[in-house]
Every structure is written in structure tokens, then in C-alpha cells.
């Protein structure tokens, strides 16, 4: 591992030199590629350099244990356990950082939110979750585009699809996929009884043209009048677009834009992402069957999180993580939750990697 880390550090130094080259600055594509690689290597190099520093401190402290002065030896004994613990933490962190990357991790994300069980209350909570993710993206400085949104009469949403553009967005949000459960008293409940409703979240890496080739012969395109609550003006033209993929049966409908051309472009983007996700699922299934030891099924039907309003808490059931101040969570303050979930799954992958090693 340490030979590899030394090679990474050398590559990182060469990247910094290249980034200072005027020719690289003049070539936008080359510069973008170099900065991306440098950003990917920086956390590894930073952790490795701290590891080396702590390791040197450990050697110095061990040498102090041989000193004749009893006070110096006592100070060394007190410092030694802390340095050992930090060294072990850094070594584990480095092993996690060196794990093979998910090829989709650096991609943009298409987030799909749909009301589940619970009728109007489920649609209202779907709107709450949509706002939560939009606010989080805003906090991170990510670019957001609403691809499709179907509102309900009570102010909720039946479903929505959102494109979030940011390098690494998929790596942060991919574990949000699953069933999100809410427990609260609906505004329409006269008796004050707590209801349980669900919302499903799907997280798709945005596919690029080079990933999924779509020809016109691969799908059927239908145009129709757009519809929505209140009979908006979008109903007056055939602007809505429906695409049906022949091979898979996947159907995508976009009607938010008044322009048929814009709806068609959005529908193609969503269809391409769905096909890309389908291909990734096939690859994962093949890997899982080969290993037979993969942890977790990844089924989206499994409840992953509960938002409990009476107790003002949110609990992620996969990692036994609970935090309070639910309103802050719904306002997009979820970074600590995403970090905890991300670290949990990285630790699982590290454990699998260590078990698979001879």
C-alpha cells in the first residue's frame, strides 16, 4: 500500500507542475482534466502526509522512552497511545481512500421523488423531501434544474425529477435511494392521530451520449396536450412529450415546458439516465453473483429512514444514526447525515476488500 501511496504523491507533485505550465493553462480541456485528477488525489496525499508526520512523531516519542529523565519518559508514555490511535485512524482512512472508485461517482445526478403510501400526506411529504434536497444543493453551491414535476391539488407532488449538476454529486447522494417514511399528524387530521406515510427516492447518475446511444428507432415519441391542476395555459398546445423505449418498456413523460422541443430534450436526458442506471444494475448483479458475499441487497423497497415529527428526530435505520432538529433537516441541513451514511458504506467495502484479500 505504501509504495502505491508514494507513487500517488509523486504523481500529485507532477500534476501541480503541469498545472503551472502556460501551455496547460491555454488548453481548457487539458487544464480541466488535470485539475480534476489533482482534486481526486489531494485527499489521499493530504492523509498520507499526515500519516508520515504522525509516524515520525511516534519514532521520536519511542526514543524518549529511553531517556534517563523520569519526567520525559512519563510524558512520552502519555503521548504514545494518542499517536498510535491517530496513526491507526489515518491508515484506515488511507485504505478507504484507495478503494476502487464507483465509475459513476463523479457524475451529475438525476433525483426522482415519488409519493408512496399515504395519499395526500405522502404527496405533501414528497414536496418536503424535494425542498430538502434542493436546499442542500443550494448550500453546496450545486446547479439544479427541475426536469419534471407533477403537483397535486393539496400542494404536494406526485413525482418530480431533478437534475443536480456538480462534480461528485452522485457519490454524495446515491445512498439516498430507498423508501423514506414520515410519522406526523396530517393537517387534515381532526383527532390529532399520527399517520405513517412513505415517499420513494431514486438516484440516477446522469448518462452522457458516449454511455448510452439512443437512435430514433429505439423509442416511440408521442406528443400530447400537457395537463396539470387548475388547467394552466400549458394545456392549449401539444407541448408534452412521451417517450417509450421499445426494448425495456421504460416510459418517460415531460410536460413542464411550453416548448415541445425543450420537453423532448428533457425526456431524452431522463430516458438516457434510466437506461444507464439499468446497465449499472446489470453490472452490479453480475458482480454480486460472482462474489456471493456482497453486503446488503440494495433493494429500494427497504425502508431506509424515518422522519418522526412528534419526537423531532430523523433516524437512518441502515447505520442506527439519529439526530434531532427535524426542521433543520428539512431545510437542507443534512451533510452530517450524508457523511455518516457514506462512511458506513465505505467501511463495508473496506471490510469486504480485506476479507477477499489472501
- Residue 220 and residue 214 in contact, taking contact as beta carbons nearer than 8 Å: no
**Per-residue confidence of the chain (358 residues) as pLDDT tens digits?**
778 888 888 988 988 888 888 888 888 888 888 888 888 888 889 998 999 999 999 999 898 888 888 888 888 888 999 999 999 888 888 887 877 777 788 888 989 999 988 888 999 999 999 999 999 999 999 999 998 899 999 899 999 999 999 988 998 999 998 899 999 988 766 677 888 899 999 888 887 655 677 888 899 999 887 765 544 444 556 788 999 999 889 999 988 888 888 899 898 889 888 888 888 777 666 544 543 332 233 333 468 999 999 999 999 999 999 999 999 999 999 999 999 998 888 888 877 776 666 5
Q: Which residues, in sequence order, are CB contacts of 242 under 8 Å at separation 6+?
A: 221, 222, 223, 224, 251, 252, 253, 267
Q: Which residues, in sequence order, are CB contacts of 201 under 8 Å at separation 6+?
A: 111, 112, 113, 129, 176, 177, 178, 179, 180
At residue 292, the pLDDT reads 35
At residue 211, the pLDDT reads 61
At residue 230, the pLDDT reads 45
- Residue 106 and residue 171 in contact, taking contact as beta carbons nearer than 8 Å: yes
At residue 129, the pLDDT reads 96
Tell me the pTM: 0.66
Alpha-carbon gap, residue 237 to 260, rounded angstroms: 9
Domains and CATH numbers, the chain: 2-97 (1.20.58), 109-289+301-351 (3.30.70.1660)
Burial label, 144 (beta-carbon count in 10 A; 0-12, 13-18, 19+): middle
Alpha-carbon gap, residue 252 to 328, rounded angstroms: 33
What are the distances in angstroms from CA 181 to CA 135, 140, 172, 192, 340? 20, 25, 20, 19, 19
Amino acid at each position: 500500500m505504501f509504495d502505491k501511496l508514494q507513487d500517488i504523491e509523486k504523481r500529485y507533485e507532477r500534476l501541480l507542475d503541469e498545472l503551472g505550465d502556460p501551455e496547460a493553462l491555454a488548453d481548457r480541456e487539458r487544464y480541466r482534466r488535470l485539475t480534476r485528477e489533482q482534486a481526486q488525489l489531494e485527499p489521499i496525499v493530504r492523509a498520507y502526509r499526515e500519516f508520515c508526520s504522525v509516524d515520525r512523531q511516534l519514532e521520536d516519542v519511542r526514543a524518549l522512552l529511553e531517556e534517563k529523565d523520569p519526567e520525559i519518559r512519563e510524558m512520552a508514555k502519555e503521548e504514545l497511545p494518542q499517536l498510535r490511535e491517530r496513526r491507526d485512524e489515518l491508515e484506515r482512512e488511507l485504505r478507504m481512500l484507495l478503494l476502487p472508485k464507483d465509475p459513476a461517482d463523479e457524475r451529475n445526478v438525476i433525483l426522482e421523488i415519488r409519493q408512496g403510501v399515504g395519499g395526500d400526506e405522502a404527496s405533501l411529504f414528497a414536496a418536503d423531501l424535494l425542498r430538502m434536497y434542493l436546499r442542500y444543493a443550494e448550500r453546496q453551491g450545486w446547479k439544479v434544474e427541475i426536469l419534471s414535476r407533477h403537483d397535486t391539488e393539496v400542494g404536494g407532488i406526485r413525482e418530480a425529477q431533478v437534475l443536480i449538476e456538480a462534480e461528485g454529486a452522485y457519490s454524495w447522494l446515491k445512498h439516498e435511494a430507498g423508501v423514506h417514511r414520515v410519522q406526523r399528524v396530517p393537517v387534515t387530521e381532526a383527532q390529532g392521530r399520527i399517520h405513517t406515510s412513505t415517499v420513494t427516492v431514486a438516484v440516477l447518475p446522469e448518462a452522457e451520449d458516449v454511455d448510452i446511444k439512443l437512435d430514433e428507432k429505439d423509442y416511440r415519441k408521442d406528443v400530447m396536450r400537457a395537463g396539470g391542476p387548475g388547467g394552466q395555459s400549458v394545456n392549449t398546445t401539444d407541448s408534452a412529450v412521451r417517450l417509450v423505449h421499445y426494448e425495456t418498456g421504460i416510459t418517460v413523460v415531460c410536460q413542464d415546458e411550453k416548448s415541445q422541443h425543450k420537453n423532448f430534450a428533457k425526456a431524452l436526458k431522463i430516458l438516457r439516465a434510466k437506461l444507464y442506471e439499468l446497465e449499472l444494475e446489470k453490472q452490479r448483479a453480475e458482480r454480486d453473483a460472482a462474489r456471493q458475499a456482497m453486503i446488503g441487497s440494495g433493494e429500494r423497497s427497504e425502508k431506509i429512514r424515518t422522519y418522526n415529527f412528534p419526537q423531532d428526530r430523523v433516524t437512518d435505520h441502515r447505520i442506527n444514526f439519529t439526530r434531532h432538529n427535524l426542521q433543520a433537516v428539512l431545510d437542507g441541513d443534512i451533510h452530517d447525515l450524508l457523511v455518516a451514511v457514506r462512511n458506513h458504506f465505505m467501511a463495508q467495502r473496506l471490510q469486504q476488500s480485506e476479507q477477499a484479500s489472501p
